[in-house]
Amino acid sequence: MTPTIGASTLLDRLSQKRCDAAFIEALRRAAAARFLVLVGEKPVILSNEARDVASIRWFSNVELEALDFAAADALFLGVDRISGAGYFALAVNDHGDSRVGRAAELLRPLVDLRSIATQGIMSPDEVSLIGKAKSLAAWHDTARCCGRCGGVTTVKDGGWKRKCWACGQQLFPRMDPVVIMLVTDGHECVLGHEARFPANMFSTIAGYIEPGEDLDHAVRRETKEEIGLDVGEVRFVTTQPWPFPHSLMIGCIAFVAHGALEIDPQEIVEARWFGRADAKAMLDGTHPLGLWVPGKQSIAHSLIRAFADEAAVAGVDR
Ligand SMILES: [Zn+2]
C-alpha cells in the first residue's frame, strides 16, 4: 500500500540537529543550499512542454536574492545524504507585500499539490516532500501569536518550533489525527457520498480522533454516527500524512458486527453497500453507472483496493 503522498525518503531530516541554530544557519547560507518555494501554498515546479512530467524547482540563495525573497526564516527540510547540502522550504505570500506579488508572477504557472498528486506527474518522493513543506508552512501561518498571552512568536529550530517572546511558551507543528475506515461485513463494503464530493464519487468514511479517544473508539464512534453501523473488530492497516493542511490519516478496516445502514444527513448524502466487482470497477473507472472512487494518491483508494483484492479483509471470524 503506497499512496502517492507519503513520507518522503529523499532527505535525512536530521531532526537531532535542528536546535543547533549555528549549524542550520551555516547550511542555509552555503552555496550548495537549495530552497523549495511555496507561493500561497503552491509549489514552484518545473515541467515539460506537455506538462505530463514535473519536478521541484530548487532555488539557490543567489536566485532568491534576485527575486528579493528573504530566506532567514526558511524551513529546514533536511540534508542530502551524500553531499550534506541543506534543503529548505520558503513560503511566501503576497499579503501586504507587493514584492512577492511581482516575483510570483515570474514563477507562474503554479499548480496546487492536490493536482500534482492526482495527475501523477511527479515522483511520489517529491510530492511527499512538497506535502511536508506545505503542512509545516500552513502551521506557521496560523501560529504567529501565542495562544496563552497573545505575544508574537518567532521561528526556532529551523522552523520546527515557535517560541513566544513574552511568556516563553513553545509551540510545535500541528498534526490532526484522522481515522479513515473501510467498513465491511467481509463480503461487501460501505462507501459514502458527501455533499462536497464531485458527482458520482464515493469514498470511505473518515473523522477526526477526539481528545481522550483511542483509535478503535474513534472508528466505532464515527462509523456509528455517520452510517449507523456497529463495528466489531478494527484492524489497523496503514497511515498517510495528508497535507491539506496537516492531517495524519490512519487507515483501518472496520468489521461490522450488526446494525442497519442509517446515514447522518449532516455528514453524508448517500451511503451504499458495494460488492468486490463494483469496487474493482469503481477503482478502474469502468463502473457501468459511472461511479468512481478517489485516485491512487489517497489512502481511501488503497483501502478500497485492499477490499477489492481481498488482501486485508478475508477470513475474519466474528
Ligand atoms: Zn506567550
Within a domain: residue 272? yes
227 CA to centre of ligand 1 in angstroms: 42
Same-domain pairing of 195 and 133:
no
Percentage of residues in the chain having pLDDT higher than 90: 75
153 CA to centre of ligand 1 in angstroms: 8
The C-alpha atoms of residue 249 and residue 241 are separated, in whole angstroms, by 6
Same-domain pairing of 212 and 240:
yes
Within a domain: residue 287? yes
- CATH number for the domain spanning 26: value is 3.90.79
pLDDT recorded at residue 317: 43
In the numeric block, which cell numbers belong to residue 266?
A: 449532516
145 CA to centre of ligand 1 in angstroms: 8
134 CA to centre of ligand 1 in angstroms: 25
27 CA to centre of ligand 1 in angstroms: 30
What domain count does the chain have?
Answer: 3
Q: pLDDT for 222-232, tens place per residue?
A: 999 999 999 99
Same-domain pairing of 109 and 149:
no
Same-domain pairing of 158 and 190:
no
Same-domain pairing of 67 and 153:
no
296 CA to centre of ligand 1 in angstroms: 42
13 CA to centre of ligand 1 in angstroms: 28
Q: pLDDT for 185-224, tens place per residue?
A: 999 999 999 999 999 999 999 999 999 999 999 999 999 9
Domain range for 195 is 176-308
Average pLDDT, the chain: 91
The C-alpha atoms of residue 74 and residue 29 are separated, in whole angstroms, by 11
Peptide bond into 265 cis (omega under 30): no
Within a domain: residue 10? no
Same-domain pairing of 298 and 184:
yes
List the beta bridge partners of residue 38: 43, 91
162 CA to centre of ligand 1 in angstroms: 11
Within a domain: residue 200? yes
pLDDT recorded at residue 99: 62
Within a domain: residue 154? yes
Q: Is the pLDDT of residue 10 over 90?
A: no
DSSP 82-123: TT--EEEEEEE--TT-HHHHHHHHHH-----HHHHHHHT-S-
73 CA to centre of ligand 1 in angstroms: 20
pLDDT recorded at residue 49: 84
Within a domain: residue 317? no
Same-domain pairing of 130 and 235:
no
Residues 54/122/173/97 CA torsion (nearest 10 deg): 20
pLDDT recorded at residue 315: 47
- CATH number for the domain spanning 297: value is 3.90.79.10
Q: Is the pLDDT of residue 177 over 80?
A: yes
pLDDT recorded at residue 233: 96
Among 97-101, 148-152, 179-183, 285-289, the range scoring the smallest mean pLDDT is: 97-101
Of the three residues 91, 120, 142, the one that is the final residue of a domain is 142
Helices and strands of the chain, counted as H and E runs: 8, 16
Same-domain pairing of 170 and 184:
no
88 CA to centre of ligand 1 in angstroms: 27
- Give mean pLDDT, residues 110-115: 85
Same-domain pairing of 197 and 133:
no
In the numeric block, which cell numbers belong to residue 81?
A: 545524504
pTM for the model stands at 0.89
Among 28-32, 185-189, 281-285, 293-297, the range scoring the smallest mean pLDDT is: 293-297
Give SS3 for 40. coil
Peptide bond into 245 cis (omega under 30): yes
172 CA to centre of ligand 1 in angstroms: 14
169 CA to centre of ligand 1 in angstroms: 5
Same-domain pairing of 97 and 164:
no
Within a domain: residue 293? yes
Within a domain: residue 314? no
171 CA to centre of ligand 1 in angstroms: 10
Same-domain pairing of 129 and 36:
yes
105 CA to centre of ligand 1 in angstroms: 37
Confidence grade of residue 95 (pLDDT, cut at 50, 70, 90): low
